[in-house]
Amino acid sequence: MAGVLFALAWWWRERDVVRHDPALSPVARRVLRESPGSLQMARSVRISAYAPDDAQAGAILDEAAFSLPEIAMHLGVEPPTQPIRIFLVASSNGWEGLVRATGSRPDGLAVSLRDEIFLRDGGVEAARPDRLAHELVHVVMRDAYGTNVPLWLDEGLAGHLGLAVSRDYRSKYGRRVTGKWAGLSGEEVETIEKLTQRRELPEDPAAARFFYRATQELVTLIENRIGSARMPAYVADVATGADWRVALDARLEGSPLSSADLEEALQRQVSLPQRF
Ligand SMILES: [Zn+2]
């Protein structure tokens, strides 16, 4: 009898630890508390993944464990040493509460705060294959360069690198990531100067979509010009305050390329539908 009680007590404590990990933020605790069923956890040394079932938690852990060192390698930095926690938020009530608590966009697919990532479950958009890698790029950038990284660089890298890494991850299992972006035009289009000066996402959903797409294309164009080997130092310079254009032209000196026609190249890229 005592053994059974002890086992029960132990089991209870284990469940309790999952729910009340003292390192969890109030937002994460709320997500656990408001989840309709108890969340399952899959854990490695540095990553904990919480999801409604074991298979989902395991899949998130596997992808994150693959993506984190890849992303750090592309950026030329060390992966974060602090634990990262990832939550699949299954209920729409849970997501709405999260949006209210964090002041984030209701139309978002994911939110990352410090070392915690919240993924919205369900819906067509939630199935975007690059969203976990996208959020992990933000986590790695924040760990390496703090919270003052220019928004265009942070989102552009998350889009560009997130897609590349999620493709690598899926190709490991013989799967391909393919899709198509519609061409954008008209009033949504902003100049590079405006894009690179933004400190917040545009309120309007169409303008926000343009911002994500354009910053991703801008980072891709820059990488195509300077080459991927020079990207880590370029990112480090701009993330720590250098002017993006000055840092770019410095790396193109002596070549026929410059930043001069970038505006035109970017407008062309975003106006065309792109298959990937
Ligand atoms: Zn983002």
State in Å: Cα 145 to ligand 1 middle.
Answer: 16
Sheet holding 84-89, edge to edge: 40-43, 47-51, 84-89, 116-120, 110-113
Q: What is the pLDDT of residue 13?
A: 47
Contact 219, 157 (CB under 8 A): yes
Contact 50, 39 (CB under 8 A): yes
Q: What is the pLDDT of residue 16?
A: 47
| Cα separation, 11 vs 13, whole angstroms | 5
DSSP string, 140-205: HHHHHHTT-S-HHHHHHHHHHHHHHHHHHHHHHTT-----EEPP--GGG---HHHHHH-SS--SSH
State in Å: Cα 56 to ligand 1 middle.
Answer: 22
State in Å: Cα 186 to ligand 1 middle.
Answer: 24
DSSP 8-state assignment for residue 108: -
Q: What is the pLDDT of residue 125?
A: 57
State in Å: Cα 158 to ligand 1 middle.
Answer: 6
Tokens for 35? 């989840």
Query: What residues pack around ion ligand 1 (CB closer than 5 A)?
Result: 155, 158
Percentage of the chain with pLDDT > 70?
89
| Cα separation, 214 vs 192, whole angstroms | 9
State in Å: Cα 201 to ligand 1 middle.
Answer: 10
Just give the CATH number of 17-149. Answer: 3.40.30.160
Dihedral angle sign, alpha carbons of residues 113, 117, 123, 126: positive
State in Å: Cα 157 to ligand 1 middle.
Answer: 9
| Cα separation, 83 vs 23, whole angstroms | 10
What digits encode the pLDDT tens for the residues 231-260?
999 999 999 999 999 999 999 998 888 888
| Cα separation, 4 vs 8, whole angstroms | 6
The CB density around residue 183, as the number of other CB atoms within 10 Å, is 13
For the residues 202-220, what does the mean pLDDT come to?
Answer: 91
Coil, strand or helix at 91 = coil
| Cα separation, 139 vs 114, whole angstroms | 7
Domain definitions of the chain by residue range: 17-149, 179-276
What digits encode the pLDDT tens for the residues 190-200?
899 999 999 99
Residue 69 predicted with pLDDT over 80 = yes
pTM of the model: 0.88
Residue 243 has phi, psi (to 5 degrees) of: -70, 130
Residue 61 predicted with pLDDT over 90 = yes
Q: What is the pLDDT of residue 275?
A: 78
Angle between helices 205-226 and 151-172 in degrees, nearest 10: 80
247 Cβ neighbours under 8 A, 6+ residues apart: 234, 237, 238
Contact 211, 201 (CB under 8 A): yes
State in Å: Cα 17 to ligand 1 middle.
Answer: 30
7-11, 96-100, 181-185: range with lowest mean pLDDT = 7-11
